[in-house]
């Protein structure tokens, strides 16, 4: 039995789950509404304010899908009730960030500025304070979409190991290298 899959998903107050005939799970809460298509072999039941995911057999494929769909549904429940938040910092001389509604402008040492249009589901806030690294704060109810947006922003200037310059998550530790050694 999957350790993750057999755990029930408890539903906080204000969150409703509906399972459609075509195995589409819809979760609605104060932060938004999300839906997920579930494999027809996996059964999803709502009992006593808890959601239970069951599998028909112990096939390798069914075992994998069991834990996967339970985790995806749990992330949806957490997203619509609490939400997800990621903070990224720009480390480097002259690196700047600003936003105009859903368009983020990044100045990362290239000859041009980078403009990124964010989806409507992601809320963005930028902070530029004196003697501190610029911050990008992203919030969303969809964990997958938030992770994709963060990966896209990070891909513009990955943190490098010699000086530590680049875009990284707040609190992330970058393994540093020493660089050239001094002579013989």
Residues 138, 146: Cα–Cα separation, whole Å: 7
Domain span at residue 144?
84-169
pLDDT in tens, the chain (184 residues): 568 888 888 888 888 898 888 889 999 999 889 999 998 888 888 888 888 888 888 888 888 889 899 999 999 999 999 999 999 999 988 899 999 989 999 999 899 999 999 999 999 999 999 889 999 999 999 999 999 999 999 999 999 999 889 999 998 888 988 888 765 5
Domain assignment present for 73: yes
pTM, two decimal places: 0.86
Backbone phi and psi for residue 35, each to the nearest 5 degrees, phi listed first:
-140, 155
Q: Which of residues 27, 59, 81 is at a domain's end?
A: 81
User: Do 89 and 133 touch, CB atoms closer than 8 A?
Assistant: yes
Instruction: Tell me the CATH number at 111.
Output: 3.90.930.12
Q: Collect contacts of 43-52 with beta carbons under 8 A, ≥24 apart.
A: 44/19, 44/69, 44/73, 45/19, 46/11, 46/17, 46/19, 49/10, 49/11, 50/8, 50/9, 50/10, 50/11, 51/8, 51/9, 51/11, 51/17, 51/77, 52/8, 52/9
Domain assignment present for 14: yes
Q: Are residues 63 and 92 in the same domain?
A: no
Q: Are residues 56 and 131 in the same domain?
A: no
User: Do 168 and 155 touch, CB atoms closer than 8 A?
Assistant: no
């Amino acid at each position: 039995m999957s350790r993750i899959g057999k755990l029930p998903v408890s539903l906080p107050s204000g969150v409703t789950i509906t399972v459609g005939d075509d195995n589409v799970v819809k979760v609605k809460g104060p932060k938004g509404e999300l839906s997920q298509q579930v494999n027809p072999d996996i059964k999803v039941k709502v009992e006593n304010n808890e959601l239970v995911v069951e599998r028909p057999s112990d096939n390798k494929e069914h075992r994998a899908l069991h834990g996967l769909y339970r985790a995806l549904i749990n992330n949806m429940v957490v997203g619509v009730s609490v939400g997800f938040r990621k903070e990224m910092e720009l480390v480097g001389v002259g690196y700047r960030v600003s936003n105009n509604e859903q368009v983020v402008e990044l100045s990362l040492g290239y000859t041009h500025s980078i403009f990124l249009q964010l989806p409507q589901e992601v809320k963005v806030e930028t902070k530029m304070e004196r003697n501190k690294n610029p911050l990008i704060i992203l919030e969303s109810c969809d964990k997958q979409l938030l992770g994709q947006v963060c990966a896209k922003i990070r891909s513009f200037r990955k943190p490098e190991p010699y000086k530590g310059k680049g875009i990284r998550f707040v609190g992330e530790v970058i393994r540093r290298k020493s660089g050239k050694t001094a002579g013989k």
